[in-house]
Amino acid sequence: MSNVLILGASGGIARIATDLFLKETDARLTLYLRNPRRLKNVDSIRVRVVEGDVLDFETLKKSMTGQDVVYANLAGELERMAQNIVKAMDATGVKRLIFISSMGIYDEVPGQRYSSILDPYRKSAEVIEASDLDYTILRPGWFTHGDEIDYELTQKGQPFKGGQVSRKSVAALVVKLAQSPELEVRRSLGVSKPE
């Protein structure tokens, strides 16, 4: 039974991933978020809720203790958040990180050039890639609400395929990676629906 810390647990993908973890695995979950009132019907004996900000190092470190996997699904000051996550993981000895970023951070989307809007995603990915963690960075396409699990992966350095992917597909990939910690270690993966 693994222990999974979900940072940014009220996000759309994180909520779907939480449901999948509870239905399809025996993982114990720690849901970490700034506003726990956003979560509904959290009564599972396998779920603990922590009110906290990823920029609050001490609370983050305390929540990370005893975890097997950290899954981060964040928005905001991503570079500082990534630095805090790496620091807390180093302090607690947790190695496995799954981090949601964005397509386009390596200018890998054919025909597209994304401007400074992606800088926080680029910089946070650089922080994670410079760490010694067993990370997997996910770079999904534009999100859809499709009730489907249908995705393909591209590696860093390959052109990104497609343009969209369902939140459920990304959540399913997160659960798969968390349950198989040897998969796609120190990789950055584009995630999109096959065209």
pLDDT per residue as tens digits for the range 30-80: 999 999 988 887 777 999 999 999 999 999 999 999 999 999 999 999 999
Buried-exposed string 135-168: b where 16+ CB fall within 10 A, e elsewhere: bbbbbbbeeeeeeeeebeebeeeeebbbeebbbb
The whole-number pLDDT of residue 112 equals: 82
Residue 25 class from Cβ within 10 Å (0-12 exposed, 13-18 middle, 19+ buried)? middle
The whole-number pLDDT of residue 116 equals: 84
The whole-number pLDDT of residue 110 equals: 87
Are the CB atoms for 166 and 145 separated by under 8 Å? yes
Q: How far apart are CA 162 and CA 50, in angstroms?
A: 36
Could you please report the per-residue DSSP string of 7-20? ETTTSHHHHHHHHH
Beta strands in the chain (DSSP E): 3-7, 28-33, 47-51, 69-72, 96-100, 134-140, 142-144, 152-155, 164-166, 187-192
The whole-number pLDDT of residue 40 equals: 80
The whole-number pLDDT of residue 115 equals: 74
pLDDT < 70 stretches in the chain: none
pTM: 0.97
The whole-number pLDDT of residue 41 equals: 74
CATH top-level class for 3-192?
alpha beta
